[in-house]
Amino acid sequence: MSYRSREPLRVVDAVTAWTLYHGTRADLQPGDLIEPGYASNYGERKKAAYVYLTATLDAAAWGAELAVGDGAGRIYHTVPTSDIRSDKRRRTLPVS
């Protein structure tokens, strides 16, 4: 989401870290770990080799909407417990 203004903007601070999100239908609590090795939330529910996270609320909402289950879609603010990598395969979504 982008905004625009005809008025000046005041710089408040520099961004030094991104907020990262995870979208799902799982009912999680603060402190819970989202770990690889469980059935994927998507598609054929194969064993997930990775945990996916995003820096945009739109992508997290998309993940929550696509997640398997009957519960409400949820978006969680997450903090990695180790290094993370860019997933180049997930950068662009096909247009249907």
Tell me: the pLDDT tens digits for 25-76?
989 999 999 988 877 766 667 787 888 889 899 999 998 998 888 889 999 9
Using pLDDT thresholds of 50, 70 and 90, give the confidence band for residue 93: very low
Q: Where are the domains of the chain?
A: 17-81
The residue count of the chain comes to: 96
Query: Do residues 22 and 63 lie in contact, with contact meaning Cβ atoms separated by under 8 Å?
Result: yes
Tell me: the pLDDT tens digits for 9-29?
888 888 778 889 999 998 999
The pTM assigned to this predicted structure is: 0.71
C-alpha dihedral, 75 to 50 to 66 to 24, nearest 10°? -30
CATH of 17-81, one of 3.20.170.40, 3.40.50.150, 2.60.40.420, 3.30.460.10: 3.20.170.40
